[in-house]
Structure 1
């Protein structure tokens, strides 16, 4: 079995495991009703197919997922980059909420409300930044890029999006997947996307943790001032009307942040000497980028793979995609009902 078909099988197995994990987690919850343990168990189960693939294929994990050191300056820039792309993700999220439901916020709120902050950050930010990046940017993207780097970027991002199995998360996860793949090309290291992924998720956890406390402070303040009791809105439900009224803010902040994030991204790529490589991704030479950017040993391996590899869209991959799309539609209809 060639590598592309194996990756398709891994994705299909990951989808099937995600479905099975929903029942397993549900069963465990009847004994131990703890959302923290449920999410941790779910993440561990999702990693299982990829772990089996790595062991069975006898690949060098560090090499296959591009686990390389990055400079301290680029670590700082990646953190800045993470905050700068958040307004864009917020805009995409806001637009998606006009047509779909937020399927994850209740889970995040439940975990944050019932666990210490560091445990919430651990299970919502730290574990996903390791596991999801290893699966989607490490195994999937780094394999698909060997055939076609541009298609590999979009396909791996698409798989990352639909794996969430709901339209709301798909929208911004797909965008994140594209940005993350480009960030790997700028740094030649999956560590960069792990950092950015962690910062984005950790920020969400901290904001969820702080919101009730800030709301209470403002509510107490408003109650102490006569005539201001109704100024503070303590509701946490985001309505479509509220989103539309804030759309100008979302668009302006996203536009400004996009320009700044591009400048930071360019600096990151220049620091690693890969800016020309990144620019060439969108040129007619994109298909030869892999051979130009990898060393002699990687080149020999890639050439050997190219002789045997088939297309990216294998039958197992397509089946996995179809299952995810069906689940996305069903989940949206179920929520509406």
Structure 2
């Protein structure tokens, strides 16, 4: 559903693959920095997830645990980490962000993040996926390469795969997960989790931002990053429109589907 439209767009538009998709090398230190960037963002993702669970149900726990428990680790890794890391990044940090950046790079990051969140088709994942999508957008701008966002996306999903794999193969943890799935998480427990994670989420976000700045310097893109936040006062420069009918319709369809599945069915 994501990969085929991406390929069709590339073929029809005849875009420059190297520029639009950012098929470029980056500094070798990204191999070390990107996983640290993902780990730094984990508390923020946990916090946003906990906040969303106050109003909606988890859309991933049961699915991830069931998939991992019924397949070998490498199969789960391929299905849940490798494939999404490649396909979703080609679509969202590649085609969508690469096309919108000609209007405004900052707007492209925001729109790419919103569409990435909406694509998950449930409010629980949408909440943290939007923020993660935007952070991956900044990572793409800092490195100038989609390979770093694919790597980060893989690391983020693989953490969930490993946690689910351990939880499904350790009897005590398996019983806890099954109990949680059947009874749900108490509101008081969620509120306690939120309070605990707020300072860690803030510190992690600051650390992730610092790593983006470091990667921008390593790749000689720090001035380009600063330019994103400066207003262009050149009135003669006409930029492409950011908001379009297809974009609004796509968001309305996604949100409408989520409302129906979450609160109606």
The normalised TM-score by structure 1 is 0.72
Change over 3 Å in CA distance of 1:217–1:191 after alignment to 2: closer
Q: What are the superposed Cα offsets for residues 221-250 of structure 1, whole Å, 9 maximum, x if unpaired?
A: xxxxxxxxxxx8973343322211222221
**How far 1:287 sits from its partner (Å)?**
8.8
In structure 1, the residue matched to 2:131 is: 175
Aligned partner of 1:112 among 68, 72, 93: 68
Change over 3 Å in CA distance of 1:217–1:183 after alignment to 2: closer
Question: Are 1:332 and 2:259 counterparts?
Answer: no
CA–CA distance in 1 between the matches of 2:226 and 2:170? Answer: 44
CA–CA distance in 2 between the matches of 1:218 and 1:325? Answer: 33
In structure 1, the residue matched to 2:112 is: 156
**How far 1:310 sits from its partner (Å)?**
4.8
In structure 2, the residue matched to 1:317 is: 247
Change over 3 Å in CA distance of 1:316–1:217 after alignment to 2: closer
Change over 3 Å in CA distance of 1:147–1:218 after alignment to 2: closer
In structure 2, the residue matched to 1:251 is: 198
Change over 3 Å in CA distance of 1:190–1:333 after alignment to 2: same
In structure 1, the residue matched to 2:222 is: 275
CA–CA distance in 2 between the matches of 1:196 and 1:287? Answer: 36
In structure 2, the residue matched to 1:34 is: none
Cα-Cα RMSD: 2.4
Q: Tell me if the contact between 2:65 and 2:168 (Cα under 8 Å) persists in the aligned partners.
A: no
**How far 1:214 sits from its partner (Å)?**
4.0
CA–CA distance in 2 between the matches of 1:286 and 1:101? Answer: 46
Q: Tell me if the contact between 2:68 and 2:168 (Cα under 8 Å) persists in the aligned partners.
A: no
Q: Tell me if the contact between 2:118 and 2:254 (Cα under 8 Å) persists in the aligned partners.
A: yes
Aligned ranges 1:153-302 → 2 under 5 Å = 153-216=109-172, 235-237=179-181, 238-285=185-232
Compare 138-147 and 315-324 and name the one that shifted more.
315-324
Change over 3 Å in CA distance of 1:310–1:246 after alignment to 2: closer
Q: Tell me if the contact between 1:67 and 1:191 (Cα under 8 Å) persists in the aligned partners.
A: yes
**How far 1:313 sits from its partner (Å)?**
2.4
Question: Are 1:95 and 2:51 counterparts?
Answer: yes
Larger Rg: 1
Change over 3 Å in CA distance of 1:147–1:234 after alignment to 2: closer
**How far 1:215 sits from its partner (Å)?**
4.9
CA–CA distance in 1 between the matches of 2:78 and 2:139? Answer: 23
Q: Tell me if the contact between 1:149 and 1:286 (Cα under 8 Å) persists in the aligned partners.
A: no
**How far 1:70 sits from its partner (Å)?**
1.6
The normalised TM-score by structure 2 is 0.90
CA–CA distance in 2 between the matches of 1:56 and 1:149? Answer: 23
